């Protein structure tokens, strides 16, 4: 018999597809029930998926191994499914169930979309899914869902133990003046949601501490950003790391400095010191991802922070929490929703972010303009990750330098790479502090001196001469 092919949200399914799903077993996104299952069982199954990451329910399948037995009356089964969905509180709005023939037996397929807008209960009980089974939701799970789906807001809750003395009023006053808030700074922060009243007392909200706190990490230890440059394509013991704390605007500025210092440059140098360069990724695209992560992460999650990882072949920005509210991987370019509207508004006021968008379209456009692969989005174990890939695995170093086995696994910053590449050009026998300084005029001379001294320590260069007459040459083994 011909397999009937049906259309589901984002995918095409046929009998073979469904049988493969059944063979893989029950999971967070897949379960099944026999024909004639009680209405309450159907309702609990649908609700557990709606309170999770969505999923698919098959009616007409039974047993641990998933034996297809079909349903006697498909139309009646669909009516019961719709009745079960409406018995949830609030009612579940799901697509109309479909039918599919598998070996001449009809199975009813119900899709529960990802990114449902509410938290759903059955007879006053909240259930979710854990390890492929229905499980009661604990209070902490319900609270987490409230924040994730924008029903409640962690950012506007009073910061635990914080007082007005924990606000940096110099920063707050500068912000109030910038947006025309006048001299009443407290009123400005109260209106923006950075202050609130608790038991009749004015106190900072979590957003207020994150944006204007004297020491935000004293109240929210995980509200920081870890930036790491690894030498290779995987995590290793060779890396350069910075833990960026302070207020969210401070973290964004420091992350941008880290990117400027550690993004590799494709440098073209001749026998003169004339130089042109392109960053391995557009700086604005990398910066936009950092701003998005800082602005939209789930700050109610403790024990994890925003991570900016640079590898030899990719850049990763990972933030705690799933995509907020109705936003999913499928609609991320079109959907507009923020779990932290206060933070987004203040960062927009300060010029860090466009309030009406995530900047995803801009990142995609910048990568396309640079002839680089489109960004890759994923959700893994309660985190959201964006990856930028280099594509062709370009390098900033000449073939003679790359061939040196001692470079493998060694971390070099872009200035050191440029120095080695220059010395491998025909006719370039030596390099001085002044030479490298002319290539990087914005870098402090002491930093330039340390860069070259570090290459001596790593056995790539030899230093010749004294004081102002000193210069550096390649070790013989590093020659062309």
**Mean pLDDT calculated for residue range 372-400:** 76
CB 31 within 8 A of CB 93: no
CB 158 within 8 A of CB 123: no
Among 56-60, 436-440, 443-447, the range with the most confident prediction by mean pLDDT is 56-60
Pairing status of strand 55-59 against strand 30-33: parallel
Q: Would the pLDDT of 344 be above 60?
A: yes
Residues 182 and 24: their CA atoms lie apart, in Å, by 63
| pLDDT of res. 419 | 86
Q: pLDDT of 147-194, one tens digit each? A: 888 777 899 999 999 999 999 999 999 999 999 877 899 999 999 999
Q: Please give the CATH topology (third level) of the domain spanning 152-394.
A: Heat Shock Protein 90 (3.30.565)
If pLDDT is split at 50, 70 and 90, which confidence band does 437 have? Answer: confident
Q: Would the pLDDT of 11 be above 80?
A: no
Residue intervals of the chain classified under CATH 3.30.950.30 are 6-137
| pLDDT of res. 410 | 66
| pLDDT of res. 401 | 54
| pLDDT of res. 431 | 92
Residues 6+ apart with CB under 8 A from 465: 471
Q: Would the pLDDT of 305 be above 90?
A: yes
| pLDDT of res. 270 | 41
Q: pLDDT of 258-300, one tens digit each? A: 999 999 875 544 444 444 457 889 999 999 999 999 999 999 9
| pLDDT of res. 299 | 95
| pLDDT of res. 128 | 94
| pLDDT of res. 444 | 86
Is the full-model pTM beyond 0.85?
A: no
| pLDDT of res. 436 | 87
Structure token digits, residue 352: 């860090």
Burial letters 269-306, b for 16+ CB under 10 A, else e? beeeeeeeeebbbbeebbbbbbbbbbbbbbbbbeebbb
**Mean pLDDT calculated for residue range 446-453:** 90
If pLDDT is split at 50, 70 and 90, which confidence band does 354 have? Answer: low
Domain 6-137 has CATH 3.30.950.30: yes
Q: Would the pLDDT of 358 be above 60?
A: no
Residue intervals of the chain classified under CATH 1.10.10.10 are 399-478
End-to-end CA distance of the chain: 69
Counting every residue written for the chain, the total comes to 480
Q: Please give the CATH topology (third level) of the domain spanning 399-478.
A: Arc Repressor Mutant, subunit A (1.10.10)
Q: Would the pLDDT of 6 be above 90?
A: no
Residues 433 and 450: their CA atoms lie apart, in Å, by 10
**Mean pLDDT calculated for residue range 95-119:** 92
- 3-state secondary structure labels for all residues of 135-186: EECCHHHHHHHHHHCCCCCCCCCECCCCCHHHECHHHHHHHHHHCCCCCCHH
Q: Would the pLDDT of 459 be above 70?
A: yes
Residues 6+ apart with CB under 8 A from 155: 193, 205, 206, 207, 210, 299, 339, 340, 341, 342, 343
Q: pLDDT of 363-378, one tens digit each? A: 998 898 888 889 999 9
| pLDDT of res. 189 | 96
Q: Of the given ranges (153-157, 354-358, 404-408), which has the lowest mean pLDDT?
A: 354-358
| pLDDT of res. 161 | 95
Average pLDDT, the chain: 86
Locus of tokens 């936003």: 327
| pLDDT of res. 356 | 46
Residues 6+ apart with CB under 8 A from 209: 159, 162, 166, 167, 216, 219, 220
If pLDDT is split at 50, 70 and 90, which confidence band does 85 have? Answer: very high
Q: Of the given ranges (116-120, 208-212, 286-290), which has the lowest mean pLDDT?
A: 116-120
Residue intervals of the chain classified under CATH 3.30.565.60 are 152-394
If pLDDT is split at 50, 70 and 90, which confidence band does 408 have? Answer: low
Structure token digits, residue 475: 């070790």
């Amino acid at each position: 018999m011909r397999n009937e092919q049906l259309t589901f949200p984002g995918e095409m399914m046929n009998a073979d597809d469904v049988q493969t799903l059944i063979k893989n077993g029950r999971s967070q996104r897949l379960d099944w029930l026999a024909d004639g299952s009680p209405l309450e069982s159907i309702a609990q199954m649908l609700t557990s998926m709606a309170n999770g990451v969505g999923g698919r329910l098959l009616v007409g399948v039974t047993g641990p191994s998933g034996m297809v037995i079909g349903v006697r009356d498909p139309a009646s089964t669909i009516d019961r499914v719709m009745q079960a969905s409406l018995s949830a509180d609030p009612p579940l709005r799901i697509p109309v169930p479909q039918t599919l023939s598998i070996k001449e037996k009809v199975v009813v397929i119900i899709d529960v979309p990802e990114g449902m807008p509410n938290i759903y209960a059955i007879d006053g009980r909240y259930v979710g899914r854990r390890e492929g089974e229905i499980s009661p939701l604990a209070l902490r799970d319900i609270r987490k869902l409230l924040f994730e789906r924008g029903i409640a807001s962690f950012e506007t809750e009073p910061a635990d133990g914080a007082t007005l003395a924990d606000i940096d009023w110099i920063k707050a006053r500068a912000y109030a003046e910038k947006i025309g808030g006048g001299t009443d700074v407290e009123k400005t922060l109260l209106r923006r949601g950075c202050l609130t009243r608790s038991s009749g007392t004015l106190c900072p909200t979590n957003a207020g501490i994150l944006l204007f706190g004297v020491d935000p990490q004293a109240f929210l230890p995980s509200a920081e950003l870890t930036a790491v440059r690894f030498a290779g394509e995987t995590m290793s013991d060779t890396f350069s790391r910075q833990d960026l704390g302070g207020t969210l605007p401070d973290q964004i500025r420091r992350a941008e400095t880290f990117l400027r210092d550690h993004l590799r440059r494709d440098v073209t140098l001749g026998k003169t010191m004339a130089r042109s360069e392109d960053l391995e990724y557009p700086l604005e695209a990398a910066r936009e991802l950092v701003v998005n992560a800082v602005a939209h992460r789930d700050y109610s999650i403790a024990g994890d922070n925003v991570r900016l990882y640079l590898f030899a072949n990719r850049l990763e920005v990972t933030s705690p929490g799933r995509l907020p509210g109705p936003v999913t991987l499928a609609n991320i370019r079109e959907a507009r929703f923020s779990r932290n509207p206060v933070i987004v508004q203040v960062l927009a006021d300060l010029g860090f972010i466009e309030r009406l968008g995530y900047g995803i379209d801009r990142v995609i456009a910048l990568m396309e303009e640079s002839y680089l692969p489109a960004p890759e989005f994923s959700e893994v174990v309660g985190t959201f990750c964006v990856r930028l890939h280099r594509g062709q695995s370009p390098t900033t170093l000449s073939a003679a330098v790359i061939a040196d086995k001692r470079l493998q696994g060694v971390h070099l910053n872009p200035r050191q790479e440029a120095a080695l590449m220059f010395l491998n050009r025909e006719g370039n026998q030596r390099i001085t502090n002044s030479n490298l300084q002319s290539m990087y005029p914005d870098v402090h001379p002491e930093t330039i001196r340390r860069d070259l001294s570090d290459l001596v320590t790593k056995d790539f260069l030899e230093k010749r001469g004294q004081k102002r007459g000193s210069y550096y040459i390649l070790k013989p083994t590093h020659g062309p």
